[in-house]
């Protein structure tokens, strides 16, 4: 080597090899393992909250008393656990899962991360049908068939007003918001004009788990199960639809059929949950928004997470209302509105700082 080339090599910067990158094929199992671990922790958290929901109330029960109340019909705690706390806890599990999954599907369908089933007027349709049946026919406020009928009618109306087959997420959102305002005004008018309806509906319209009975969950569970199944089957096509109609068609999906399946799922889930515990706010909006930070936009993972974490939020709100309202209780709809609003304001402020 010449003297010149030796000096040039001494002055030239040392070149280091680029750091090795993990191939996507190797990252996928790790990501799946993290998601499974997170889902297992979410299930553990749900079990803890469900246990507290059974133990905490106007009468404090120890873990041993809760165990006796669950398994021993001759124990004094059996009536408290089986007739009051267990039905409302099971209803919180079922209704929370329904609202969380419905919110995730709605946000994907409308391509709006801040949407919830109320945006399409589905909850308002169920509420209007229940209020009409209560005021005119004198039926109980939790009749699921009227709630499903109202949700289905409003869903079809929103789809028609939004443009039918040519409906876009923006048109659906605008049509749903308009019908939502009209129908909730109608519910308020029915309650103000009929004192008997006001008495029967005033707690239901706020949203509560306190009216849960032994037959409440068996009545709504088949509709929720079908809605969850339709939503899970539609997860991959909905992910394709989120890329746009043209991209979805390129991937072999049919946008019209996908929207119809998603609307059927949301109608069943929201109609069943609303009939049982009233129109609850923020559960279907907040939980999917938070879950996407853990799982990303893939519905095949976000839907199971929503089905687990939404009941956690609902039962935690119900517990908070029972503790703060002693010796009475604050309705869970009030607590979800307060807790959801505070968390959402925090998210907005954090986004503004970024």
Could you count the other beta carbons within 10 Å of the beta carbon of residue 238?
24
Residue 20 has pLDDT above 60, yes or no: no
pLDDT tens for 170-224 read 777 788 888 888 888 888 888 888 776 666 677 677 788 888 888 889 999 999 9
Mean pLDDT of 153-167: 74
Q: What are the sequence ranges of the domains in the chain?
A: 69-347
> d(Cα 215, Cα 212) in Å, to the nearest integer?
8
Q: Binning pLDDT at 50, 70 and 90, where does residue 7 land?
A: very low
Q: What pLDDT sits at residue 100?
A: 93
> d(Cα 318, Cα 306) in Å, to the nearest integer?
18
Output the DSSP codes for 206-234: H--STT--TTHHHHHHHHHHHHHHHHHHT
| Pairwise pLDDT comparison (26 vs 211), residue with the higher score | 211
Q: Binning pLDDT at 50, 70 and 90, where does residue 303 land?
A: very high
The 3-state secondary structure of 79-90, one letter per residue:
HHHHHHHHHHHH
**Mean of the per-residue pLDDT values of the chain:** 80
Which CATH number is associated with domain 69-347? 1.10.3470.10
> d(Cα 132, Cα 130) in Å, to the nearest integer?
5
The answer to whether the bond into 327 is cis (omega within 30° of 0) is yes
Query: Do residues 123 and 279 lie in contact, with contact meaning Cβ atoms separated by under 8 Å?
Result: yes
The predicted model scores a pTM of: 0.83
Query: Do residues 291 and 120 lie in contact, with contact meaning Cβ atoms separated by under 8 Å?
Result: no
pLDDT tens for 310-334 read 999 999 999 988 888 777 788 888 8
């Amino acid at each position: 080597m010449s003297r010149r080339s030796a000096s040039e090599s001494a002055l030239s910067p040392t070149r280091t090899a680029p750091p090795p990158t993990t191939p996507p094929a190797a990252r996928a199992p790790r990501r799946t393992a993290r998601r499974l671990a997170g889902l297992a922790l979410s299930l553990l958290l749900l079990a803890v909250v469900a246990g507290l929901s059974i133990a905490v109330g106007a009468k404090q029960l120890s873990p041993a008393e809760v165990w006796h109340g669950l398994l021993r019909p001759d124990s004094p705690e059996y009536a408290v656990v089986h007739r009051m706390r267990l039905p409302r806890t099971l209803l919180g599990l079922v209704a929370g899962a329904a609202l969380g999954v419905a919110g995730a599907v709605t946000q994907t369908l409308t391509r709006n991360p801040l949407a919830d089933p109320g945006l399409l007027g589905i909850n308002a349709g169920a509420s209007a049908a229940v209020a009409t049946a209560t005021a005119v026919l004198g039926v109980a406020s939790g009749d699921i068939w009227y709630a499903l009928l109202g949700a289905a009618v409003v869903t079809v109306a929103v789809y028609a007003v939004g443009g039918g087959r040519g409906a876009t997420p923006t048109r659906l959102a605008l049509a749903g918001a308009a019908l939502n305002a009209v129908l909730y005004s109608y519910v308020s008018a029915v309650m103000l004009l009929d004192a008997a309806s006001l008495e029967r509906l005033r707690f239901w319209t706020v949203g509560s788990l306190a009216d849960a009975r032994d037959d409440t969950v068996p009545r709504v569970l088949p509709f929720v199960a079908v809605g969850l199944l339709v939503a899970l089957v539609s997860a991959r096509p909905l992910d394709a639809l989120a890329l746009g109609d043209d991209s979805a068609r390129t991937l072999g999906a049919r946008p019209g059929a996908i929207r119809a399946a998603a609307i059927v799922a949301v109608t069943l889930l929201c109609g069943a949950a609303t009939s049982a515990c009233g129109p609850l706010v923020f559960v279907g909006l907040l939980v999917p928004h938070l879950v996407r930070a853990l799982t990303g936009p893939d519905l095949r993972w976000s839907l199971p997470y929503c089905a687990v974490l939404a009941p956690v939020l609902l039962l935690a709100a119900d517990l908070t209302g029972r503790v703060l309202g002693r010796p009475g209780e604050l309705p869970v709809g009030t607590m979800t509105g307060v807790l959801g609003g505070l968390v959402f304001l925090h998210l907005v402020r954090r986004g503004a700082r970024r």
